Structure 1
Amino acid sequence: MRIIDSDLFSLALEQLRDVVWVVDREGRIVSVNKAAELIYGYSRTELTDMRVHDLRPAEAVASIEAQLKKAQEEGILFRTRHRRRSGESFPVEVSSRRLYHNERELVVSVIRDISIRDALEAELQREHQELLAAHEELLASEEEIRQQLDELLQKEEFVRRLAYHDSLTGLPNRTMLMEYLDKELTTVRADAAGGAVFFVDVDDLKTVNDNFGHSCGDKIISLIGADLADELGPGSLVARIGGDEFVAVMRGVSDRRTVEQAVARLKERICRDYDLGMCIMNISASIGIAMYPGDAQTAEELLKNVDMALYEAKREGKCTWRFFDAKLRTAVFENMVLKQGLREAVQRKELHLVFQPLLDSRNGTIAAFESLLRWSHGDFGPIPPGRFIPLAEESGDILTIGAWVFEEACRFAARLRDLGRESIRVNVNVSPRQLAADDFTAGLLRTVATAGIQPGQMELEITETALISSMEKCVAKLADLRSAGFHLALDDFGSGYSSLTYLKSLPVETVKLDQSFIREIAGDPAQQRFVRSIVHMAHGQNLRVTAEGVETPEQLVALKECDCDYMQGFIFSRPVPADTAMELLAQGFPQLMVSAAENCEDKAS
């Protein structure tokens, strides 16, 4: 018969995670293993000076005696509660046996701390009950779910409609225009009559927006769009392809004099005084004209040529019109000058960043700053971003400029960190060409390391145009950026065909609603319901929602009611230099948010 090594057995007891103790008839603890120290919080010396009742909560002492006696006799498991040194009561599972040693009656017990197991079982039970409740709710509301699904499909169809129409004017957009021109040129090549294309650009609309707000500018845009469509009639197409740009197609004309008469009527119709409520402002427009098929054989070429004619009209003083001519290369030359200037802008220190705050809609504190690029050309003065950024993208200089922008934004983030405000993100717009670069992620990581900041201080804003070329590759690149710690936002959501369905595949955290959703939200209940549904669906996918272009208190209240997470716009601040942005940190805008919240409560009551 093998003799068990008592030292070995004692060593084994010391390794157990469960408590093993021996108590005498009076309940005094005679011996314990090391696990007792860990679980109860007393030292072994303290435990051997204690009685078992000292480790039981008061409510458990009265009910345990009969259960304990039966367990000692039959060796069964039973559950009770013990108490740690901290006073915390916790559940245990106890197995006890009476034994005799040297004519002394003792009880040996094995005690297992089952608090984690009980918590897990309780959580599972709770989740089970929730699942049962959810299942019953689903069964009880099948018709309601079907109706909600129909509404979602209708809203998705509305979003899809945005692929072909401008949300502000209701006119066709660039996508529909290009398809229309492709069909028209195909028809013309089959010996049908040609036509004319007018590129209409509203002069100095930026001045209106800067001085009176975008709502006034939007009113002018809507009126001009309606005038163009009415003047040209149902046989023509009028599209809005940009902020202040329209393209009109007049079919079935080939005589230049007829076109001149038509454009003269257009000019007279749209170049007039506009009542903006607070004042009457005279608005003019410049028009470029190209004839097809004589001036171009493709839709792209036709738009390119009519664009050249437009810039020639603007160069000659605006509020005028010009036909495209094969010798017309002024606009092309200007583009070449700007492209060359962009290559030297960084070295000449002509580029600088301004910053616009994004506000937390809960309390009005600044949650982030969007960094925006500005260019003050040495000869031409300030160049609008919408003018030079596409040129930089086209030439490839956007890679160098984009890297400089990110470096400057990281320096700004470092200043925030030095103030102890590293939780405030710095947003940077990323162009399609930057995103497609192989070393894009590695370059960003090097830059944040050089600046001494964390990737989590930066949020990259991606437009949906950056995703069009290759969704699969872009999603993989975005996933790498998320893994590296950068925050990601989908910018200008709703400006094109932004389907909520593909958001599931994008590793973004934030959706930035295009300004077109915000402009009419205060006065249009249907628009507000639609925005609310987008916010609700975005929240359902764990996405935050930022509203851009917030300019009025009414818009602010409406967006609060829609549960938008963040807001950005002139009502808070225009884009400002870095030093001014730092001053805004101490200010915040809590009163605006409080007022908006009170308005929401008043409406609810």
Structure 2
Amino acid sequence: MTERYQYLNPIYQEVLKHERLRNLMRIAKCMESSTVGVFETTIDDKIIDVSISFCELLGYSNSQIRELNYEQICYPDDLSAYYVLKERLLSGEIDRCYLNVRYIREDGQIVQVIQSTDLDISGAKEPYFVNRFEDITDWERTDRNKQDFENRTRYLFENNPHPMWIYNLETLDFLAVNQAAINHYGYSEAEFLSMTVLDIRPVEEVPKLLEAIAKVSIGFSVPEIWTHRKKDGSQILVEVSAHTLEYQNHRCELILINDVTQKIQAQEDLKRAEAKYRSIFENAVEGIFQTSADGKFLIANPMLAKIYGYASPEDLVTNLTNIEEQLYVDPQRRLELIELLTEQEDVKQFESQVYRKDGSMIWTSENVHAVRDVIGNIIYFEGTVEDITASKLAKAEIEHLAFHDSLTDLPNRVLFRDRLCAALVNASAQLQTHIERNQITDIKTLPPLLAVMFLDLDRFKLVNDTMGHAAGDRLLIEVAKRLSDCMFESTFLARMGGDEFMIFVSELQSIESIQQFAQLILQSFEHPFLVEETPLHIGTSIGISLYPNDGMDEETLMKNADTAMFRAKERGRNHYQLYNHAIGAKVKEYVAIENGIRQALERSEFQVFYQPQINLVTGKIDCMEALARWLHPELGWVPPNQFIPAAEEHGLIVRLGEWVLCTACQQNYLWQSQGLPAIRMAVNFSAQQFQVTDLCTRVMQILSETGLEPQYLEIEITESLVMQDQSTTIAVLKKLKSLGMSISIDDFGTGYSSLSYLRLLPVSKVKIDASFIRETPQNRDDAAITSAIIAMAHNLNLRVIAEGVEREEQLEFLRSHNCDAVQGYLFSRPIPADEATLILQSQFL
């Protein structure tokens, strides 16, 4: 019903509406002396409640009239007007409507009434219409009332805000126009009265108009859309409502005009927008969806169906009815997504592994928004889905290549160091437990907790020289396979480069067990390796270092295992050798460092040395790195890899780091005040410093006290620092950068998380770890990793500096791969402030 009559707009009801507004008292007075009744109807026009006067007027009993619909009691020609006003009530356009309408009695007679209708939405029951009526059948038949009715109609005609006119159906002349028509069309009243209705129509519509006029019948006509021409020549679209009447003794039509040009234009714009949206929806390269809160798809576009492997959106909606269980490989991910949406309303790039219709698995990234009702309850979810399987695999492949040897596919040195560090954390915890439980003071009495093994193939160079590098590569592959066969649960094997391999064994129980394992490896080499159908007999020399006796950190353990391997070769090759050293001297030195670290700051034993960083484009120093050095009164210069861990263990690293920062900033400001060009000062920050709640405030305070501007301070961090407390560290780094400082990553490439988290950090520079530079460019793996880091950093708009540059060939390799800056002994060792000043003066003055 709604669609059928939504465009109807009868003129006579407009007249009565204005009559109500302007002559309310007159109508009320008439009703006081008239028979007034009430009846109620549902939204679909079923009569549900009536007054006695309504039954008496129509001649039905109460029960009989309740079986009828409104259209059964209303004269057919008057239904159009009722439907139009009913739609306006439902849309909220008007609050009440008035009709001059005819009812059909039970005996077939016609009665004339004035009907007012209201929509009741009070909430006590379903919305319904309240209809009040007054029988005016006899009232309109008196001459007095007819004259009164004509006067009121004329008044409403002249003052109606819509254009109105009356024209002669025979001559088509305008007989009367109201002021609204004059204002809207631009013609004067005299001009209108000298014209016909044909004069305001485009020529092409005249035949259609004449045809429509010839078919005019008595009463209201259904509103139609026509094109009219205004005096200035512009054309408008109008909705024309007409009603026949006798006027000046002529058969005429009363016309009401509703200019719908903008409305139709808006409708056309809406259609175009909907068509555009539909096109985007149907042809989007991303999946688009709406889902219910209970896990059902409500809407899906073709791309979503394609992503999930369904033939069509309809196929997907019909068959995928339990998103949590049918779609997600891990159903918990759906619950996590809903929990996030409950908390923050929008979720971006939510990655999950999902099933396709055929059971295969893919990775997807979702952007989802929670749509809520007015009181905040979630109605449904909507969003987009992207298949990221290819990029996920590519990323995994890149990370695999970064941490695995390209020839043997074994873990490389980077991954080995990372996993060894993690194993040492566990071993350190076990060591502490042993010490506390057994009150041990001499760690020599403890069984080893972890072993590091360094393997080097015997006479491998001879294979390369006699059979070629291809044969050597094939031999390395076969060696890797055989070594892998010897591994068990608590071992980790890696190729370090060339013909060198390393293994660490965690959860070690005794020296005898590692000796047995080493012997097993040596026995596996007793069988020849088949290379290019040639059997090759080759052995290996193995060096072994043990934790904690032979070292407390990965660097020391690896170095001592390397030393032991050379001793094994000295014994005649194809042997293993345990590292042997003067443990008493080491322990004495360790204790001295532990005890002395507390007094070192008070005694001013620490110094800050500076190592220049050279810009490879300008050849000049553009940054100095500040490095802490400790001159112990008994031990002499203590290496940083010994006193830094001690300072961290005793909670002094924050104090030491702040002293280094303050000293370095003072020195940089002094250089600037001496007229030297302004350069950046790079200062290393520890993980413990980032746990200080007011770190940003303290750094700014130091800059203010020393006079150094923030732009000349560069903060160096390690990847492992970020991994300890990602959210807190990243937030602090962003704050420091916003205050004007620059951020760089030190020892880049040695952390297992570098590729995953680099894009999240507000860094401007990465420093390639010296371990990659040491054998570059001779070592192909190191060279490949170094060049890859440079390329990746440049793609992310980051500068790259290489540390540990000691030889010209290293410098040329880095320059050929567009490395931005270098640092190392080739240019300068870390030096005291006075020597650093001389270097700066020699370059810039």
**Could you state the TM-score of these two structures normalised by the residue count of structure 2?**
0.38
Q: 1:471 to 1:347 in 2, by over 3 A?
A: same
Q: 1:391 aligns with which of 632, 642, 646?
A: 646
Does residue 1:485 correspond to 2:729, yes or no? no
Q: 1:544 aligns with which of 790, 799, 802?
A: 799
Query: What secondary structure is seen at the aligned counterpart in 1 of 2:688?
Result: helix
Q: 1:234 aligns with which of 479, 486, 501?
A: 486
Alpha-carbon distance between aligned partners in 2 of 1:381 and 1:578, rounded to the nearest angstrom: 19
Cross-structure match for 1:154:
397
Aligned length: 372
State the one-letter code of the partner of 1:158: L
Alignment of structure 1 residues 563-582 onto 2, 5 Å: 563-582=818-837
Does residue 1:509 correspond to 2:752, yes or no? no
Query: What secondary structure is seen at the aligned counterpart in 2 of 1:521?
Result: coil
Cross-structure match for 2:703:
448
> Identity over the aligned pairs, expressed in percent?
31
Alpha-carbon distance between aligned partners in 2 of 1:425 and 1:361, rounded to the nearest angstrom: 16
Q: 1:198 aligns with which of 427, 436, 451?
A: 451
Cross-structure match for 1:249:
505
Alpha-carbon distance, 1:572 to partner: 1.1
State the one-letter code of the partner of 1:198: A
Cross-structure match for 1:119:
none
Alignment of structure 1 residues 159-558 onto 2, 5 Å: 159-161=402-404, 167-168=412-413, 172-175=416-419, 178=422, 197-198=450-451, 234-235=486-487, 237=491, 248-249=504-505, 289=546, 303-304=547-548, 307=551, 335-421=590-676, 423-523=678-778, 527-528=782-783, 530-558=785-813
Q: 1:524-558, CA deviations, whole angstroms, 9 ceiling, x for partnerless residues? A: 56654543343233223221111111122211111
Alpha-carbon distance between aligned partners in 2 of 1:410 and 1:181, rounded to the nearest angstrom: 35
Higher relative contact order (CA 8 A, sep 6+): 1
Q: 1:463-486, CA deviations, whole angstroms, 9 ceiling, x for partnerless residues? A: 011111211110110011112221
Alignment of structure 1 residues 57-96 onto 2, 5 Å: none
Alignment of structure 1 residues 560-599 onto 2, 5 Å: 560-588=815-843
Alpha-carbon distance between aligned partners in 2 of 1:148 and 1:254, rounded to the nearest angstrom: 44
> Quick check: which has more Rg, 1 or 2?
2
Q: 1:493 to 1:256 in 2, by over 3 A?
A: closer
Q: 1:528 to 1:200 in 2, by over 3 A?
A: closer
Q: Which runs of 5+ in 1 are unaligned?
A: 1-145, 187-193, 202-226, 267-284, 290-302, 590-605
Q: 1:428 to 1:507 in 2, by over 3 A?
A: same
Q: 1:80-137, CA deviations, whole angstroms, 9 ceiling, x for partnerless residues? A: xxxxxxxxxxxxxxxxxxxxxxxxxxxxxxxxxxxxxxxxxxxxxxxxxxxxxxxxxx
Query: What secondary structure is seen at the aligned counterpart in 1 of 2:825?
Result: coil
Alpha-carbon distance between aligned partners in 2 of 1:165 and 1:366, rounded to the nearest angstrom: 40
RMSD between superposed Cα atoms in Å: 5.0
Alpha-carbon distance, 1:569 to partner: 1.2
State the one-letter code of the partner of 1:175: R
Q: 1:450 to 1:540 in 2, by over 3 A?
A: same
Q: 1:236-294, CA deviations, whole angstroms, 9 ceiling, x for partnerless residues? A: 7477999xx9874399x97866867999999xxxxxxxxxxxxxxxxxx99764xxxxx
Q: 1:180 to 1:464 in 2, by over 3 A?
A: closer
Greater fraction helix? 1
Alpha-carbon distance, 1:451 to partner: 1.1
Q: 1:279-317, CA deviations, whole angstroms, 9 ceiling, x for partnerless residues? A: xxxxxx99764xxxxxxxxxxxxx457647999xx9xxx
Alpha-carbon distance between aligned partners in 1 of 2:579 and 2:399, rounded to the nearest angstrom: 42
Q: 1:542 to 1:518 in 2, by over 3 A?
A: same
Alpha-carbon distance between aligned partners in 2 of 1:424 and 1:308, rounded to the nearest angstrom: 38
**Could you state the TM-score of these two structures normalised by the residue count of structure 1?**
0.51
State the one-letter code of the partner of 2:638: I
Equivalent residues of 2:746, 2:769 under 8 A apart: yes
Alpha-carbon distance between aligned partners in 2 of 1:232 and 1:541, rounded to the nearest angstrom: 37
Q: 1:304 to 1:554 in 2, by over 3 A?
A: same
Q: 1:318-348, CA deviations, whole angstroms, 9 ceiling, x for partnerless residues? A: 9996899xxx999777545423311211221
Q: 1:239 to 1:451 in 2, by over 3 A?
A: farther
Alpha-carbon distance between aligned partners in 2 of 1:481 and 1:524, rounded to the nearest angstrom: 38
Alpha-carbon distance between aligned partners in 2 of 1:196 and 1:501, rounded to the nearest angstrom: 32
Alpha-carbon distance between aligned partners in 1 of 2:494 and 2:792, rounded to the nearest angstrom: 29
Alpha-carbon distance between aligned partners in 2 of 1:375 and 1:180, rounded to the nearest angstrom: 26
Q: 1:240 to 1:427 in 2, by over 3 A?
A: farther
Query: What secondary structure is seen at the aligned counterpart in 2 of 1:431?
Result: coil
Alpha-carbon distance between aligned partners in 1 of 2:732 and 2:619, rounded to the nearest angstrom: 33
Alpha-carbon distance between aligned partners in 2 of 1:536 and 1:322, rounded to the nearest angstrom: 40
Alignment of structure 1 residues 129-140 onto 2, 5 Å: none
Alpha-carbon distance between aligned partners in 1 of 2:493 and 2:657, rounded to the nearest angstrom: 32
Equivalent residues of 2:615, 2:621 under 8 A apart: yes
Q: 1:233 to 1:575 in 2, by over 3 A?
A: farther
Q: Which runs of 5+ in 2 are unaligned?
A: 1-388, 431-446, 455-478, 522-541, 568-576
Query: What secondary structure is seen at the aligned counterpart in 1 of 2:602?
Result: coil
Alpha-carbon distance between aligned partners in 2 of 1:231 and 1:529, rounded to the nearest angstrom: 25
